Amino acid sequence: MTDLSTLEGFHKRWVEVFNSHDLDAHAALYTDDAMLFGSVPELIIGRASIRDYFAGRGPKVHVARYPFPRVVMISDAVAATAAHVDFADGDSSMPYRVTWMLVKREGEWKIAQHHGSPRG
């Protein structure tokens, strides 16, 4: 299991579970009341709704490239990140901008706010 106590470990774990399509493991990386602006116009709120959102992605969608993001530490337990992420669906590339607001809870990082928007 990846060490979720470090930002590097959290980032690695998010990519792993996204690419594995393990929806329960993916949802567990978010706070219960997390917010997500993804590729749909609605604001998705809550871990269960975020799980449902990711369940709707195609079976071939995966992270092709997600370098470790730029991080700004707000406090010891709050971090903001920003990065360019390349998703792929088969041979189709989907370049995105992704930001997270991370909070450390019980020694592990969780996403409290996630925003993704297409680059282009």
Could you report the per-residue pLDDT of 8-64, keeping only the tens digit for each?
Answer: 999 999 999 999 999 999 999 999 999 999 888 899 999 999 999 999 988 899 999
In CATH terms, 7-118 corresponds, of 3.40.50.1170, 3.10.450.50, 3.30.2350.10, 1.20.1070.10, to 3.10.450.50
Is pLDDT at 115 greater than 80 in this prediction? yes
Could you report the per-residue pLDDT of 74-86, keeping only the tens digit for each?
Answer: 999 999 999 999 9
Domain boundaries, the chain: 7-118
Is pLDDT at 1 greater than 80 in this prediction? no
Residue whose entry in the numeric block shows the structure tokens 């996403």: 111
Could you report the per-residue pLDDT of 3-23, keeping only the tens digit for each?
Answer: 768 999 999 999 999 999 999
